Amino acid sequence: MFSKILIANRGEIAVRVIRTCKEMNIRTVAVYSEADRNSLHVRLADEAICVGGARAEQSYLNIPAIISAAEIADVDGIHPGYGFLSQNAHFVEICESCNITFIGPPASAIRLMGDKIAAKDLMRKAGIPIVPGSMAAVRNKEDALKTARRIGYPVIVKAAAGGGGRGMRVCHNDVRLISALMTCQAEAKASFGNGDVFVEKCLEQPRHIEFQILADRAGHTIHLGERDCTIQRRHQKLIEESPSPAVDAKLRRKIGELAVRAAKAADYASVGTIEFLLNKDGTFYFIEMNTRIQVEHPVTEMVTGIDLIKEQIRVAAGETLGLKQDDVALDGWAIECRINAEDPSNGFAPSPGRITEYQPPGGRGVRVDTHVFAGYDVPPFYDSLLAKLITTGRTREDAIRVMQRALDEFLLEPIRTTIPLHKQIFSDPTFWRGQISTDYIDRQLQLGESE
């Protein structure tokens, strides 16, 4: 087991990882930027090292600075959290060459899943359903038009190096497809250094269902059920829940088995997530795999009782899984709201600044994962996530009622947050019925503005 871990991240996830390390008797080293000197992760860790300037490129993405910190502190593992260096295969290789264990999947799995075309190809060969579309990169307009003719409009152009909806374009006819192809290729080249794009059938109002995977280095692989992340805005998730109101035990077993097969096909080890789109008629397709711990992992922890960070650290240390698929039981319901420093009444404009009043909710069925405290200054340089409010109950209705009560209790002033939007969603009968799809938030926002 590790004796000392460096956490190459900030904010709530750095705090989350430090907490589990303490419970495992592992010493912790925080790294921080000049803007995060007074952060909670710095205070909670056993040691803290400044790795550079406020901008992420100078600090949390600064590989030489982070490796130097790891060498100076003499750690035996690095936990990357999510974002930043968590899906950087090159960084994993550097850690290994320094004899430091990267607490995550092998570089090869990160590289493979980073290429959405290669990932789809692997899954197709493994017998996992994939969205119909081009089987390789679409090079020219003839390729694109031929694919569109085969699968029918509407189609989506996606970047091979994208993911999470970045650089994605819906097209309804030939003219739009040709222009989307050009802009998508140019944008992908500029943002990812890889201009490859592919075309696939655009599904109508699908749900986003993702399966949590846990795999050790001996090849034992299990799933921990699904999360429903259908409530998103501009590909940013707002609310996640587990289980999904659209998945019953039979469908869970079926998709779960395929998710395990997908992870095995990628020779995966660590925690990971297999994303599917689910149609109203029950058909579903693999879209991508996330090779990291995800923001929304707590809802899975709440219904399985498993500490995902602990399992991630254990398997990175070479231990085998402590449980089998049949040992995993889903109990009750969990919902998570992402509380961001953004103003939903002003186009989700960032709202950094000092939090003078802070009183988080508590009581039965409430968990708050956050790095915020009274007097904390929200810096303008990073992701706007302030807190994750997770509530649980025996049923979905119970968890929703606790969430409404917890949102009412939550005091976080004077900056703008997404709390009012969440209150609005949880009072909507359509959300209560679980009848939500991809366009839910845009409709919800229009309703809010016309009130």
292, 314, 396, 416: the active-site residue:
292
Helix, strand, or coil (residue 17): helix
Span from 6-14, 229-237, 355-363, 396-404 in contact with ligand MV4 (CB under 6 A): 229-237
**Among the listed residues 58, 108, 194, 232, the single contact to ligand MV4 using CB under 6 A:** 232
The answer to whether residue 139 is catalytic is: no
Residue 14 identity: A
Rank residues 164 and 322 by Cβ distance to ligand MV4 and give the closer one.
Answer: 164
Q: Positive or negative CA dihedral for 409, 415, 417, 421?
A: positive
CA distance 233 to 181: 24
Rank residues 35 and 262 by Cβ distance to ligand MV4 and give the closer one.
Answer: 262
Q: Is 144 in the site for ligand MV4 (CB under 6 A)?
A: no
Cβ of 283: how many Cβ atoms within 10 Å?
A: 11
Positions in 26-55 near ligand MV4 (CB under 6 A): none
Rank residues 229 and 306 by Cβ distance to ligand MV4 and give the closer one.
Answer: 229
**Among the listed residues 164, 332, 420, 434, the single contact to ligand MV4 using CB under 6 A:** 164
What are the tokens at 262?
């997908």
Question: Least distance in Å: CB of 324 to ligand MV4?
Answer: 31
Rank residues 108 and 437 by Cβ distance to ligand MV4 and give the closer one.
Answer: 437
Question: Least distance in Å: CB of 444 to ligand MV4?
Answer: 13
Positions in 387-446 near ligand MV4 (CB under 6 A): 438
CA distance 368 to 362: 8
Question: Least distance in Å: CB of 173 to ligand MV4?
Answer: 17
Question: Least distance in Å: CB of 287 to ligand MV4?
Answer: 6
Positions in 186-225 near ligand MV4 (CB under 6 A): 200-203, 206, 208
Closest CA relative to residue 315, chosen from 101, 74, 84: 101
Cis peptide before 129 (omega within 30 of 0): no
Q: Is 239 in the site for ligand MV4 (CB under 6 A)?
A: no
**Among the listed residues 26, 107, 128, 156, the single contact to ligand MV4 using CB under 6 A:** 156
Q: Is 132 in the site for ligand MV4 (CB under 6 A)?
A: no
β-strand pairing of 342-343 with 155-159: unpaired
Question: Least distance in Å: CB of 295 to ligand MV4?
Answer: 13
Q: Positive or negative CA dihedral for 146, 147, 151, 152?
A: negative
The structure tokens 């000049």 sit at 34
Rank residues 201 and 223 by Cβ distance to ligand MV4 and give the closer one.
Answer: 201
Question: Least distance in Å: CB of 243 to ligand MV4?
Answer: 17
Question: Least distance in Å: CB of 442 to ligand MV4?
Answer: 9
- Label residue 397 exposed, middle or buried (CB < 10 Å: 0-12, 13-18, 19+): exposed
Residue 178 CB contacts under 8 Å (≥ 6 apart), including other chains:
141, 144, 145
Q: Is 139 in the site for ligand MV4 (CB under 6 A)?
A: no
Rank residues 56 and 287 by Cβ distance to ligand MV4 and give the closer one.
Answer: 287
CB contact at 8 A, 216 and 315: yes
CA distance 264 to 311: 18
**Among the listed residues 73, 92, 131, 262, the single contact to ligand MV4 using CB under 6 A:** 131
Query: In the sheet where 155-159 sits, what is the strand order?
Result: 169-171, 155-159, 197-201
Positions in 103-122 near ligand MV4 (CB under 6 A): none
Q: Is 172 in the site for ligand MV4 (CB under 6 A)?
A: no
Rank residues 147 and 392 by Cβ distance to ligand MV4 and give the closer one.
Answer: 147
**Among the listed residues 165, 350, 353, 379, the single contact to ligand MV4 using CB under 6 A:** 165
| Phi, psi angles (nearest 5°) of residue 105 | -75, 170
CA-to-CA dists, residue 402 to 165, 246, 360, 398, 428, angstroms: 31, 21, 14, 6, 15
Cβ of 126: how many Cβ atoms within 10 Å?
A: 16
Residue 421 identity: L
Rank residues 203 and 321 by Cβ distance to ligand MV4 and give the closer one.
Answer: 203
Question: Least distance in Å: CB of 153 to ligand MV4?
Answer: 12
Write the binding mask 264 to 303 for ligand MV4: x where contact by CB under 6 A, - elsewhere: -------------x---------x----------------
CB contact at 8 A, 28 and 45: yes
Residue 64 CB contacts under 8 Å (≥ 6 apart), including other chains:
none
Dihedral through CA 419, CA 421, CA 422, CA 423, nearest 10?
A: 90
Interface residues with ligand MV4 (CB under 6 A)? 131, 156, 164-165, 200-203, 206, 208, 230, 232, 235, 277, 287, 438
Residues carrying an active site annotation: 292
